[in-house]
């Protein structure tokens, strides 16, 4: 068994005062309970309205998202739902009482429970057994606000059910303006392979609180990808469980926060089945005054989860003064019979020595920054493995950089 708590600062000589390479949960705070004891319930009344001091809300600007703690119906007139799916995929609606409805997800906080109460029906994407999709399923949620009014309320509920030995890619995109509370249930059948991408490209006034729960079947594979670029406040909680041994889960995240944006990603991988693998990698860049990102990576290896292998990594690149990145990896291990468990977290500033080096080769300061940021994201973007998403994301990162440095010269 190996347990590593790696602190991974940038290369020697590049670390500078004020850089925080590692926040260790054991020293930063003492959790009041094991992750296993965290409450889940379908009843919104079981969750008090968060005040901002709770463990799972302490980084979130709860004063800016109060509406989403209340149960309100979806403003259907301001919601557009576009779905395109290749042949072999069934798109339907599911209601309470249906087999898949609530089969994977139980709300773990007030916003998720409010979304649950507000959404009477769910969109159900069914990929039958032993089907390999050639094209992704694409689902786009677009909210449209009325000038001068609060963005419309959307309660989202999506269920993706991948049958055994099937292979599918599902891309969920959020655009426009909305106050969106949403639940996503992902069931990956035995031996199946699901790539699920959730893209947050909201307008600047949008608020989005999401809970994504995945149940990875025996010998199944899940790649869960979160891309957060837009919105005022975006908080995506992703919880992964395993239905049997041999499951493999990869959680990849890419985010880019601008001035005034709050982007929060909370991961919880619950290893209960033996011989499962989890691999979490999130990378983000921040620029602008009060840009704030939060990454929480909880991993629980229960006593029964022998043979587990898990690794979590979070890297943040702060491009300007005034931005803040919080990064908290947590590892709870209840058995010593594991293959490996580790995590690493580092937050660094844009490196002046890199800038000098590139500039000394004739490259302008803006172009140098662009190279460094593109380089920072290149590896993780390539891991996404969905060509259209990768190209779109690199273009979006370029567009983000253009905000602070003007359009690309080359």
Partner 1 sequence: MATLEIHDLHVTVDTENGVKEILRGVDLTVKAGETHAIMGPNGSGKSTLAYSIAGHPKYTVTGGTVTLDGADVLAMTVDQRARAGLFLAMQYPVEVPGVTVSNFLRTAKTAIDGQAPKLRSWVKDMKAAMAELRMDPAFAERNVNEGFSGGEKKRHEILQMEMLHPKLAILDETDSGLDVDALKVVSEGVNRVAASGDVGVLLITHYTRILRYIQPDFVHVFIDGRIVEEGGPELADRLENEGYDRFVKVEA
Q: Which residues bind partner 1 (CB under 8 A)?
A: 11, 13-14, 351-354, 356-365, 367-368, 371-372, 374-379, 410
Residue 8 or 36: the one with the smaller Cβ distance to partner 1 is 8
Residue 371 or 396: the one with the smaller Cβ distance to partner 1 is 371
Residue 365 or 399: the one with the smaller Cβ distance to partner 1 is 365
Sheet holding 340-349, edge to edge: 3-6, 340-349, 309-318, 277-286, 248-257, 221-228, 193-202, 167-176, 137-143, 79-84
In the complex, least distance from residue 16 CB atom to partner 1, rounded to whole angstroms? 12
CA angle 388/318/367 to nearest 5° reads 65
Residue 71 or 396: the one with the smaller Cβ distance to partner 1 is 396
In the complex, least distance from residue 84 CB atom to partner 1, rounded to whole angstroms? 33
In the complex, least distance from residue 270 CB atom to partner 1, rounded to whole angstroms? 32
Residue 93 or 352: the one with the smaller Cβ distance to partner 1 is 352
In the complex, least distance from residue 353 CB atom to partner 1, rounded to whole angstroms? 5
In the complex, least distance from residue 279 CB atom to partner 1, rounded to whole angstroms? 19
In the complex, least distance from residue 253 CB atom to partner 1, rounded to whole angstroms? 17
Residue 2 or 360: the one with the smaller Cβ distance to partner 1 is 360
Residue 12 CB burial class (10 angstroms; 0-12, 13-18, ≥19): exposed
In the complex, least distance from residue 364 CB atom to partner 1, rounded to whole angstroms? 5
- Greatest CA span in the chain, whole angstroms? 66
Burial 137-175 (b: 16+ CB within 10 A, else e): bbbbbbbbbeeeeebbbbbbbbbbbbbbbbbbbbbbbbb
In the complex, least distance from residue 311 CB atom to partner 1, rounded to whole angstroms? 19
In the complex, least distance from residue 314 CB atom to partner 1, rounded to whole angstroms? 15
In the complex, least distance from residue 160 CB atom to partner 1, rounded to whole angstroms? 32
Residue 87 or 360: the one with the smaller Cβ distance to partner 1 is 360
Residue 34 or 382: the one with the smaller Cβ distance to partner 1 is 382
Distance CA 200, CA 69 (A): 20
Residue 337 or 353: the one with the smaller Cβ distance to partner 1 is 353
Residue 34 or 364: the one with the smaller Cβ distance to partner 1 is 364
Residue 59 or 377: the one with the smaller Cβ distance to partner 1 is 377
In the complex, least distance from residue 396 CB atom to partner 1, rounded to whole angstroms? 17
């Amino acid at each position: 068994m190996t347990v590593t708590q790696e602190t991974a600062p940038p290369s020697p000589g590049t670390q500078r005062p004020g850089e925080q390479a590692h926040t260790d949960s054991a020293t930063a705070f003492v959790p009041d309970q094991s992750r296993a004891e965290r409450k889940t319930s379908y009843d919104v009344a079981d969750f008090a309205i968060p005040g901002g001091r709770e463990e799972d809300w302490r980084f979130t600007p709860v004063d800016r998202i109060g509406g989403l703690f209340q149960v309100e119906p979806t403003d259907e007139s301001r919601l557009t739902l576009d779905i395109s799916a290749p042949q072999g995929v069934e798109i339907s609606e599911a209601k309470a009482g249906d087999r898949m409805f609530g089969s994977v997800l139980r709300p773990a906080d007030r916003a998720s429970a409010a979304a649950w109460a507000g959404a009477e029906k769910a969109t159900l994407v069914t990929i039958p057994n032993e089907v390999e999709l050639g094209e992704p399923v694409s689902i786009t949620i677009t909210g449209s606000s009325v000038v001068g009014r609060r963005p419309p309320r959307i309660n989202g509920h999506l269920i993706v059910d991948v049958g055994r030995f099937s292979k599918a890619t599902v891309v969920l995109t959020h655009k426009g303006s909305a106050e969106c509370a949403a639940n996503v249930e992902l069931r990956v059948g035995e031996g199946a392979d699901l790539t699920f991408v959730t893209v947050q490209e909201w307008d600047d006034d949008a608020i989005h609180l999401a809970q994504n729960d995945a149940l990875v079947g025996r010998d199944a594979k899940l790649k869960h990808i979160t891309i957060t670029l837009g919105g005022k406040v975006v908080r995506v909680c992703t919880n992964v469980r395993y239905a049997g041994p041999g499951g493999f889960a990869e959680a990849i995240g890419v985010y880019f926060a601008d001035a005034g944006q709050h982007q929060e990603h909370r991961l919880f991988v619950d290893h209960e089945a033996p011989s499962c693998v989890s691999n979490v990698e999130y990378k983000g860049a921040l620029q602008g005054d009060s840009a704030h990102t939060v990454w929480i990576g909880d991993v629980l290896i229960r006593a029964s989860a022998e043979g587990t292998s898990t690794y979590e990594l979070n890297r943040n690149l702060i491009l300007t003064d005034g931005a803040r990145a919080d990064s908290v990896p947590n590892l709870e291990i209840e058995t010593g019979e594991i293959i490996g468990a580790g995590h690493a977290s580092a937050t660094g500033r844009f490196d002046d020595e890199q800038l000098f080096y590139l500039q000394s080769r004739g490259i302008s300061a803006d172009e140098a920054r662009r190279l460094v940021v593109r380089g920072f994201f290149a590896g993780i973007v390539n891991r996404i493995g969905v060509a259209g998403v990768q190209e779109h994301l690199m273009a979006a990162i370029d567009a983000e950089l253009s905000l602070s440095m003007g359009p690309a010269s080359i």
